[in-house]
Amino acid sequence: MKRPRLLSSTAAAVGRRGGNEKVFEAASAAALSASSSSSSFSLHHHQQQQKKKEVVGEKSDVVSDGMESIGACMTIGGRRRDDYWKKRVERNIIPWRGFAASSSSSFSPPNNENNNKKVDFAPSETTTTTTTTTTTQTTTTMVMTQRGNNPYIELARLDKPIGIYLLAYPSLWSILLSSSTATIPPPTEKIATMTALFSAGAVLLRGAGCTINDIWDRKVDAKVERTKNRPITSGRITVPNAVAFLGAQLGLGSVVLYQLDFNTQILGLMSLPLVATYPLMKRVTNLPQLFLGFTFNWGALMGWTAITGGVLEAPALALYGSGVCWTMVYDTIYAHQDIEDDKKIGIKSSARLFEKNTKAVLSTCGVGAISGLLASGYLAGVHWTFYPLLVSTAGTHLFWQIYTVDLKNRKDCGDKFRSNQTYGGLVLSSILAAKVAEHVL
């Protein structure tokens, strides 16, 4: 912008040196004109620049206000959504397994270094991925901490009743089969009472067993994906509180045990060392599932003596053996869910021991389970309808599990494991049908 002034100054100097007044005057006029033109041009350029800054500033303010509004709406909406799902969980409208991660309750706008560029309100692919990952982790943590269940319910696995069925069925089979061997059949009231007592005992003993297991395995569980959020491992229940809870469960269990005859009480107390030491077996033997079979089917012995007045007979032993083989089937399938984690941390299991020929081993155990039931029925003298019913229903279901399970698929292993409540129910139904046929046919 200094070039017009320099031109005018040069012209004036030339006029003076030449002594020509007219030239001097013409040069001066040209200088004044150039100066005026320069000033006008500078003022116009300044005004244009100022207007551009004001426009950009207004756009930036609009963008900033818009982003704040969007962020506020997303935060309020996210909180309302989180409160909505939380209330539905607390009311047990939606179970834990039905939960899905909600959308994010926060929003991070993209950074635009150049304000002159068009602002794009849509998050980039990277931002979307990061937001989704963070949201999933945050929501999962919230849900795992607030499943809608008291952590003590989770500790006792009352929210997962499959274990109660697996523990209760052998004792219920035994109660019904033992009534066939008695010279004088026990009254229906006694069978109903024993069924109720053993069902309550299954709930309490299974809860106590899970509590002991989680106390022993709290450090191991933290390294396994499926178990890392259990109440003790995640810190929601302290070890002293878990021990107190265990004492309460055992106290209530002793009340149930006190209702039985003396011999059955002694038999029940003999099972406590098995319950207490089972969690350690996965550290010292490749067959912890076999040890679980000895523990979980103890009710087959107690149910028999509870009806016979403390007398343990051969059919009960055959039934117990059948239950142990059955446990080997379902718990080996269950162990395949964690086989990769077990390899990393050195936990032993029948799934690892028989990894290359698991189905052949499970088939052998399946034959043992059905054969034990048939032998128990034969020794107890049940009606002949029991045998074809058992083989065609429970037997078919058990081998369906073995031959269709995908041992590489964690979900399918879990589904097949849980289907064993159906197997237990089919065995019970076969015994009941035989008892009815005995009076009708």
The string of DSSP codes covering 399-411 is HHHHHH--TT-HH
Instruction: Examine the domain organization and report whether 127 and 199 are in the same domain.
Output: no
Q: Tell me the C-alpha distance between 406 and 247, whole Å.
A: 39
User: By C-alpha distance, which of 341, 349, 338, 325 is closest to 402?
Assistant: 325
Residue 229, both tokens: 């959020």
Q: Tell me the C-alpha distance between 262 and 190, whole Å.
A: 16
Q: Tell me the C-alpha distance between 290 and 350, whole Å.
A: 8
Instruction: Examine the domain organization and report whether 183 and 220 are in the same domain.
Output: yes
Q: Tell me the C-alpha distance between 406 and 422, whole Å.
A: 19
pLDDT at 184: 76
Q: What is the pLDDT of residues 244-277, one digit of tens each?
A: 999 999 999 999 999 999 999 999 999 999 998 9
Q: Which residue do the tokens 């390294």 mark?
A: 223
Q: Give the residue-averaged pLDDT of 105-118.
A: 40
Residue 259 neighbours by CB distance under 10 Å: 15
**Could you tell me if 421 and 165 are in contact, meaning their C-beta atoms sit under 8 angstroms apart?**
yes
Going by pLDDT thresholds of 50, 70 and 90, the confidence category of residue 352 is: very high
**Burial annotation 104-133 (CB, 10 A radius, 16+ → b, else e):** bbebebeeeeeeeeeeeeeeeeeeeeebee
Instruction: Examine the domain organization and report whether 95 and 222 are in the same domain.
Output: no
Instruction: Classify residue 355 by its DSSP letter.
Output: G
pLDDT at 46: 52
Instruction: Examine the domain organization and report whether 340 and 192 are in the same domain.
Output: yes
**Domain assignment of residue 92, yes or no:** yes
Residue 215 neighbours by CB distance under 10 Å: 17
pLDDT at 407: 96
Residue 251 neighbours by CB distance under 10 Å: 11
pLDDT at residue 20 tops 90: no
pLDDT at 180: 80
pLDDT at residue 41 tops 50: no
**Domain assignment of residue 303, yes or no:** yes
**Domain assignment of residue 156, yes or no:** no
Residue 361, both tokens: 């081993």
**Domain assignment of residue 153, yes or no:** no
Instruction: Examine the domain organization and report whether 76 and 172 are in the same domain.
Output: no
**Domain assignment of residue 317, yes or no:** yes
Instruction: Examine the domain organization and report whether 203 and 260 are in the same domain.
Output: yes
**Domain assignment of residue 289, yes or no:** yes
pLDDT at 49: 60
Instruction: Examine the domain organization and report whether 96 and 230 are in the same domain.
Output: no
Q: What is the pLDDT of residues 159-204, one digit of tens each?
A: 999 999 999 999 999 999 998 877 778 898 999 999 999 999 999 9
Q: Which residue do the tokens 């055992």 mark?
A: 250
User: Which of 144-153, 293-302, 306-315, 421-430 is predicted with the least confidence, judged by mean pLDDT?
Assistant: 144-153
The CATH code of the domain that includes 430 is 1.10.357.140
Instruction: Examine the domain organization and report whether 268 and 197 are in the same domain.
Output: yes
Q: Give the residue-averaged pLDDT of 131-154.
A: 54
Long-range contacts of 95-98 (CB under 8 A, 24+ apart): 95/148, 96/143, 96/147, 96/148, 96/149, 96/159
* Domain that includes residue 27, residue range: 3-110+122-145
pLDDT at residue 86 tops 60: no
Instruction: Examine the domain organization and report whether 95 and 189 are in the same domain.
Output: no
Q: Cα torsion for 244, 248, 249, 255, to the nearest 10°?
A: 150
Q: How many structural domains does the chain have?
A: 2
Q: For the chain, report the end-to-end CA distance as a whole number of angstroms.
A: 120
Instruction: Examine the domain organization and report whether 271 and 365 are in the same domain.
Output: yes
**Domain assignment of residue 97, yes or no:** yes
Apex 154 CA angle, 94 and 79, nearest 5: 45
Instruction: Examine the domain organization and report whether 430 and 361 are in the same domain.
Output: yes
Q: Tell me the C-alpha distance between 338 and 383, whole Å.
A: 42
pLDDT at 372: 97
423 or 5, higher pLDDT = 423
pLDDT at residue 96 tops 50: no
pLDDT at residue 237 tops 50: yes
Instruction: Examine the domain organization and report whether 210 and 288 are in the same domain.
Output: yes
Whether pTM > 0.75 for this model: the answer is no
Q: Cα torsion for 165, 169, 171, 175, to the nearest 10°?
A: 130
Mean pLDDT, all residues of the chain? 78
**Domain assignment of residue 339, yes or no:** yes
What contacts 382, CB < 8 A, 6 or more positions away?
Answer: 177, 180, 431, 434, 435, 438
